[in-house]
Amino acid sequence: MRLLPTAVFGMLLLPLAAHAADPNSYAQPKQVRVTHLDLDLRIDFPHHRLDGQATLKLDWKNPAATSLVLDTRDLKIAKVEALGADGQATKLKYALASRNETLGSKLTIATPKHPARVRIVYSTSPEASGLQWLTPAQTADKTQPFMFSQSESIHARSWVPLQDSPAVRFSYDAHVHAPKGIRVVMSALNDAGHPLDGSFDFSQPHPIPSYLLAIAAGDIAVKQTGPRSAVYAEPGVVAKAAHEFEDTEQLIAATEKLYGPYAWGRYDILVLPPSFPYGGMENPDMTFATPTVLVGDKSLVSLVSHELAHSWSGNLVTSASWRDIWLNEGFTTYVQGRITEAVYGKVLADEEALLSARALQKSIGAMPANAQKLAPDPRGVGADDALSDVAYDKGSWFLRTLEQRFGRAAFDEYLKGYFKHFAWQSITTEQMLDYMKPNLIEKYPGKMSWDEVKAWVYADGIPKNAPLPDSPRFTAIDHERSTFLEGTLAADKLDAKGWNTQEWMYFLDRLPDVAPLDKLQQLDAAWHLTGTPNAEIGMRWYSHAIAGGDRAVWTAAAEHMTRIGRLYLTTPLYKAFARTPEGLAYAETVYAGAKAGYHPLTQQAVEAIFTAARKAEHP
The phi, psi pair for 278, rounded to 5°, reads: -125, 170
CA-to-CA distance for 381 and 402, rounded, in angstroms? 29
CA-to-CA distance for 161 and 561, rounded, in angstroms? 34
3-state class (DSSP) for residue 349? helix
**Which residues are CB-neighbours of 214 under 8 A, at least 6 positions away?**
148, 149, 150, 151, 186, 187, 281, 283, 286, 288
**Which residues are CB-neighbours of 176 under 8 A, at least 6 positions away?**
39, 41, 42, 43, 184, 186, 199, 200, 201, 202, 215, 217
Q: What residue spans of 364-394 are helical by DSSP H?
A: 389
CA-to-CA distance for 615 and 498, rounded, in angstroms? 44
CA-to-CA distance for 579 and 213, rounded, in angstroms? 38
Active site residue 392: yes
The phi, psi pair for 65, rounded to 5°, reads: -65, 140
Region class of 32: left (phi > 0), else alpha (psi between -120 and 50), else beta: beta
CA-to-CA distance for 14 and 294, rounded, in angstroms? 39
Q: What is the largest CA-CA distance in the chain?
A: 84
CA-to-CA distance for 250 and 264, rounded, in angstroms? 16
User: Nearest to residue 202, comparing CAs of 220, 179, 184, 221?
Assistant: 184
Say which of 81, 282, 307, 503 is annotated catalytic. Answer: 307
Are the C-beta atoms of 269 and 173 separated by less than 8 Å? no
Say which of 259, 392, 506, 591 is annotated catalytic. Answer: 392
How would DSSP label each residue in 188-237?
S---TT---SSEEEEEEEEEEEGGG--EEEES-EEEEEETTEEEEE-HHH
Active site residue 413: no
Residues acting as catalytic residues: 307, 392
